[in-house]
């Protein structure tokens, strides 16, 4: 399998991508929509201004991978290699993605749009959702201990079915925590 280290790849599309091991590589303005990444691994890599919508990531290794200003729609990250999985998403669109049952401790979802995302049974302890839109996002039996929801909007989570000890919320976020009981705030 080819090995790539400390390289920058610009404006690639799915046909130009070569399955291999990528270490400390950057992908800039690439269109990887509908690509099948199966067999690839990414360690300490970054994706900037890329489209990864509907990418297939079954068995793919993502270790300390950063995504900035990327469009990532409908990706089933729950099928990726779970070993040392760690993400940093900043200013990304992650609508309809699936993170079911993953260990994502201390990952970052900052200023992202996460519409209808599934975080059921996921360990999100210490995760940052600062400034993100979580409309329709599912938190069910999710570990959100010490997670940061400050400046996040449109989230709804049930404190009875999720672990939230030590999580940080703004006062404006109270309706997302109390909505289950029909309590009106303000």
Tens of pLDDT, residue by residue over 57-112, are 999 999 999 999 999 999 999 999 999 898 999 999 999 999 999 999 999 999 99
81: in domain: no
**What is the model's pLDDT at position 33?**
97
**What is the model's pLDDT at position 178?**
63
182 pLDDT above the threshold of 80: no
Residue 1 pLDDT class (50, 70, 90 cuts)? confident
Shared-domain flag, residues 132 and 56: no
User: What domain count does the chain have?
Assistant: 2
Domain stops at, among 69, 85, 107:
69
Shared-domain flag, residues 114 and 55: no
Question: Comparing 26-35, 135-144, 176-185, which segment has the lowest mean pLDDT?
Answer: 176-185
Residue 170 pLDDT class (50, 70, 90 cuts)? confident
Encoding tokens for residue 85? 């999985």
Distances (CA, A) of 78 to 44, 119, 155: 20, 10, 21
Residue 171 pLDDT class (50, 70, 90 cuts)? confident
pLDDT single digits (tens) 63-73? 999 999 999 99
What is the SS3 assignment for the chain?
Answer: CCEEECCEEECCEHHHCCCCEEECCEEECCECCCCECCCCEEECCEEECCECCCCECCCCEEECEEEECCECCCCEHHHCECCCCCEEEECCECCCCECCCCECCCCEEECCECCCCECCCCECCCCECCCCECCCCECCCCECCCCECCCCECCCCCCCCCECCCCECCHHHHHHHHHHHCCCCC
State how far the Cα of 45 lies from the Cα of 24, in Å rounded to an integer: 5
State how far the Cα of 110 lies from the Cα of 13, in Å rounded to an integer: 26
175: in domain: yes
Average pLDDT over residues 166-181: 76
Domain span holding position 11: 1-69
Please report, for the domain that includes residue 139, its CATH number: 2.160.20.80
């Amino acid at each position: 399998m080819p090995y790539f280290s400390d390289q920058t790849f610009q404006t690639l599309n799915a046909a130009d991508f070569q399955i291999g091991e990528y270490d400390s590589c950057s992908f800039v303005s690439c269109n990887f929509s509908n690509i099948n990444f199966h067999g690839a691994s990414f360690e300490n890599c970054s994706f900037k201004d890329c489209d990864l919508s509907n990418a297939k990531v079954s068995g793919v290794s993502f270790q300390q991978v950063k995504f900035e200003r990327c469009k990532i729609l409908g990706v089933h990250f729950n099928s990726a290699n779970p070993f040392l999985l760690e993400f940093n998403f900043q200013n990304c669109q992650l609508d309809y993605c699936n993170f079911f049952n993953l260990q994502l401790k201390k990952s970052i979802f900052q200023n992202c749009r996460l519409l209808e995302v599934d975080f059921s049974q996921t360990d999100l302890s210490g995760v940052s959702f600062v400034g993100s839109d979580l409309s329709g996002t599912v938190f069910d039996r999710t570990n959100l201990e010490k997670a940061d929801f400050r400046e996040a909007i449109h989230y709804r989570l049930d404190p009875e079915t999720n672990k939230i000890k030590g999580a940080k919320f703004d006062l404006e976020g109270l309706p997302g925590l109390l909505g289950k009981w029909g309590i009106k705030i303000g």
